[in-house]
Structure 1
């Protein structure tokens, strides 16, 4: 099966043209594998089926990875034109059960599979051309345009694996075997597990930006912890070992499950692992496309809640406290095994990168210094919720890759699986999923006394988000009233109907909540999942916490509750969504008010937003724009500025005049005023700005 495996691209080298060809080969290999795995679906009709209710139909994922390339390239201003704006909107967001993932099927009109295939061909051709033509110097850095291509490739590598999980969850009648996807042909009785001692040491996690392999933002930075001596299981927990838990009534005995686990049992009705099938009085095992006799010596596939419940069961049975390993403990296991990093590691030594099988294999097949499956076979759930290391910074092209998962609800998975490739098999990779998610994941257990030390609230460490929290929810400064509240008040003066409002560019959501005092329904949309996560937390958890910088590294920690703000009675009217103002999904429509606060001078193509916004308003609906008109090329290429420059004749172009020209076709200008706002940087430094507010009524 080695034709499917290919090592990740290194970022360094001496020959630029050779590096381009290396990237090209890696891109096409990734694209080919992704399309190949969709051959598992028996017919095009199956693309419109869901593997489970919390997921989109498979057509979404088939289009998603291609649109990711285009959306990121447009956003980073590497390309100017879209290929298909409709596809690049409906396939953009919705893969992780976030509050803002819109899974309501009635909102979507899915395109034909053949049209998505044709779209993917166009994307393939465009990206291939960019690999040849984009500026390239070595080593490749995060600032390089080629980095965005690598980001798209590694993103698709992730979806190769997660799509295989979804295909495996499909009813057997909906899938077919693919000749090249060979599963492991052998199994035996379960091996008896045993414990191996790992000596304690100081563990340092993270890498710096000079590392020669692509990394996601959460891999960079530094975290150190001393880990005491501990013991780890020699093997992953096999189907045979887990069978004892199932037969002893482990799924029925609530003492082995925490609150989240009991909720999972109630909702799912689970009595055994997802990929076990009970028929004719015995358990069988679901591989990608068929049922086989239970391979007792293969690793069990379970979610984190099931793995934790087994550890509690075994602890009670043996009188020893077992748990899942922490991220730091796993690193010591990795080091004990003598492993290094890709490309030093060769996949022939482990069941990963599609080199051996399209399935798991016996837990005693691939050993590393006496411990088996340290990498490969199945991912291993940890007890560590993912968090950002010291020095963590989001990448501007993909600010919602990691931060939305820093919520103590996403547990790290460690070590890779048979379906992992690319960045997924690297030493420093860090991936996390919600604990109830099925993955190609199992677990090993440890006996440990080490604690996990992580920061509990991401918004206290995210400087930009904290700054906006202070702006919207913090104190008033320099005698200037709260801008978010004042904008909502202005809106109430001009709107005739109060059924539905859109807060476009809602940031951390204060105006969205304020508008809900008047409107029956308010939707807040922002491009940044980091920002809307604040509004979601306030709505669902009743508070937000953030840090307000005072001086140097000193901060004042603040906490605001929904009761203090007076929103507890209106919160159910509010919803938050992630979206691109220049390419919104068509279901965002029929508004009586659209409020775009300090937005237009931050869009990559504001004219696109303005030329179509009338289609989203009801008759006599109101559009309110506020902006200080701070045009800068870091946000908007100069050719797309609406003002702040001289035209070819030397005449000054003012933004308000361009707004009148664009919006005048469909709107009547009702009102213009100036409105101050203040953003605190430190206790003694503030951004004091004046936004122009313009109010427009749809003709």
Structure 2
């Protein structure tokens, strides 16, 4: 697929994800951590405009200068911006105006791409991958906001819960392994540089933890016993009175969860989702096991199937040896977040096609769980 075709495909997919939304859905924002669909559509457009068109196309005219304030996310070097918790307050521009904005920028981008300027190709690829990240966020943010509606709205079916295979233990021998991305295709700077890591003997589960297994943890009083929890995790449980994964609710003794395809009875054979690092760690401790490190996960990933859930690891999000922050606003993409966050590996049912690889490092604060986050267990030998 050419760069032009890839650009068009990704841009069209964002609009497709919104094809079953009504106008009122586009502005939903149920918490500061999530953003409205309209904002995602506009922000990804703003990214192409500000990082590619404005610096590289002298003929390009910014049609809406105010949009730089409205749709900047966290790029401090690009000026002031709307407070994150106020993105849902913007009734204007309208959904139709945002779509026209997308079309305006797309037309200019296609003209620029067709000029085959080598200097912009890497930036276009970055913009495509950035939009794919926001496609997943659009799905998960929308799910969180719609969950607050007692009508349990149905907007899409992405087969959120799929049955797990039978679990086996896969052993990996101790040794020195190379970690990080090596190749000529796209990767994020946080996957670089390739470096050596020593790993002790360990085993890792070939399957993810299922809803049925997690329900046993709940039934056994897992949320009521502090011995399984990190201190911060236990404080989180007590403060918010957490009893189960996000979206789970108990009705007449049975568990259900909200999905973007409506309220469903839990599938005990499907992999659990929407658990945070605290919950994943507590479940592992209850089983007498642990979470893998991100390095163990990368070394073993070709020995099991992955891609249904972002999988928590027991690794803090830190730079690899030799990591350097890129100059300018692009340098704000990853480096400044390397504190107080944990690494997740893999991909999820909401991840866009072509946006996953074994070295991909996702990262979130340990209390968050609105992404499709799951659990794979490991043990030392």
The TM tier, using the shorter chain, reads: 0.7 to 0.9
State whether residues 181 and 194 of structure 2, in contact with CA within 8 Å, keep that contact through their aligned partners in structure 1. yes
Match of 1:183 in 2: 159
1:262 shift after superposition:
2.6
User: Which secondary structure state, in structure 1, belongs to the residue aligned with residue 223 of structure 2?
Assistant: coil
Q: Distance in 2 between matches of 1:50 and 1:153?
A: 24
* Contact 2:72 2:82 (C-alpha < 8 Å) held by counterparts: no
1:267 shift after superposition: 4.6
Long gaps (5+) in structure 1: 1-20, 137-143, 316-321, 338-370, 450-699
Separation (CA, whole Å) in 1 of partners of 2:243 and 2:278: 13
Match of 2:279 in 1: 306
Equivalent of residue 102 in structure 1, options 83, 105, 112: 83
Kindly indicate whether residue 293 of structure 2 is the aligned counterpart of residue 326 of structure 1.
Answer: yes
- Gap runs ≥5 in structure 2: 76-80
Is the 2:160–2:349 Cα contact (8 Å) retained in structure 1? Answer: no
Please give the root-mean-square deviation of Cα atoms over the aligned residues, in Å.
Answer: 2.7
- The aligned residue for residue 336 of structure 2 is 404
Task: Give the 3 Å change call, closer, same or farther, for CA 25–268 of structure 1 in structure 2.
Answer: farther
Equivalent residue, structure 2, for 1:381: 312
Instruction: Please tell me whether residue 394 in structure 1 is matched to residue 360 in structure 2.
Output: no
Q: Distance in 2 between matches of 1:410 and 1:387?
A: 9
| Match of residue 372, structure 2, among 440, 458, 463 | 440
**Residues 226 and 387 of structure 1: is their aligned pair in 2 closer, same or farther, counting only changes over 3 Å?**
same
Pick closer, same or farther for the CA change 1:440–1:135 going to 2, 3 Å. same
1:146 alignment counterpart: 121
Q: 1:199 aligns with which of 152, 166, 173?
A: 173
What SS does structure 2 have at the residue aligned with 1:270?
A: coil
Summarize the alignment of residues 96-495 of structure 1 with structure 2, pairs less than 5 Å apart: 102-105=83-86, 109-111=90-92, 112-136=94-118, 144-169=119-144, 170-171=146-147, 173=151, 175-178=153-156, 181=157, 183=159, 193-207=167-181, 211-301=183-273, 302-315=275-288, 322-335=289-302, 337=303, 371=304, 373=305, 375-396=306-327, 397-407=329-339, 409-421=340-352, 424-438=355-369, 439-448=371-380
SS state of the match for residue 224, structure 1?
Answer: strand
1:108–1:73 Cα change, 3 Å: farther
- Structure with greater Cα Rg: 1
Contact kept, 8 Å, 2:214 with 2:283, in 1: the verdict is: yes
Structure 1 segments of 4 or more deviating over 6 A?
none
Work out whether residues 46 and 174 of structure 1, in 8 Å CA contact, stay in contact via their aligned partners in 2.
no
Instruction: Please give the per-residue CA displacement for 1:576-616, whole angstroms capped at 9, x wherever unaligned.
Output: xxxxxxxxxxxxxxxxxxxxxxxxxxxxxxxxxxxxxxxxx
Q: Partners in 1 of 2:198 and 2:160 — Cα distance?
A: 39
Alpha-carbon distance between aligned partners in 1 of 2:343 and 2:127, rounded to the nearest angstrom: 22
Alignment of structure 1 residues 9-158 onto 2, 5 Å: 22-41=2-21, 43-73=22-52, 76-78=55-57, 81-93=61-73, 102-105=83-86, 109-111=90-92, 112-136=94-118, 144-158=119-133
Q: Report the Cα distance in structure 2 between the residues aligned to 1:227 and 1:120, rounded to whole angstroms.
A: 47
Instruction: Give the direction of change, closer, same or farther, for the CA distance of 1:386–1:446 in structure 2 (3 Å limit).
Output: same
- CA offset at residue 275 of structure 1? 2.8
What's the offset of the Cα at 1:285?
2.7
8 Å CA contact 1:386, 1:411 repeated in 2: yes
Answer 1 or 2: which has greater helix percent: 2
CA distance in 1, matches of 2:84, 2:124: 28
The 3-state SS of whatever aligns with 1:384 is strand
Number of residues paired by the alignment? Answer: 368
Q: 1:329 offset after TM fit, Å? A: 0.5
Q: Distance in 2 between matches of 1:311 and 1:228?
A: 19
Residue 159 of structure 1 and its aligned partner are, at CA, apart by 0.9
Structure with greater strand percent: 1
Instruction: From the superposition, tell whether residues 110 and 74 of structure 1 become closer, same or farther in structure 2 (CA, over 3 Å).
Output: farther
Q: Residues of 1 paired with 2:109 and 2:14: CA distance?
A: 16
User: Counterparts of 2:18 and 2:185 in 1: how far apart (Å)?
Assistant: 28
Q: Give the conservation status (yes or no) of the 8 Å contact 1:251–1:271.
A: yes
Mapped contact 2:35–2:88 kept (Cα < 8 A): no
How far apart in 2 are the matches of 1:236 and 1:66?
36
Q: Name the stretch that deviates more: 64-73 or 165-174.
A: 165-174
Is residue 36–residue 88 contact of structure 2 (8 Å, CA) maintained in 1? no
TM-score by length of 1: 0.49
- Which residue pairs with 1:552 in the alignment? none
Say if 1:94 and 1:101, in contact at 8 Å, map to a contact too. no
1:425/1:297 Cα in 2 relative to 1: closer, same or farther (>3 Å)? same
Other structure's SS at 2:62 match = coil
CA offsets 1:266-322 (integer angstroms, 9 cap, x no match)? 45332100132222321013222312221111110112111011112222xxxxxx2
**CA 406–184 in structure 1, closer or farther in 2 if over 3 Å, else same:** closer
In 1, Cα distance between equivalents of 2:241 and 2:162:
31
- The alpha-carbon distance between structure 1 residues 62 and 259, as it changes in their structure 2 partners (threshold 3 A), is farther
- State the Cα distance separating 1:174 from its structure 2 match: 7.0
| TM-score normalised by the chain length of structure 2 | 0.88
Q: Deviation of residue 411 (structure 1)?
A: 1.2
SS at match of 1:306: helix
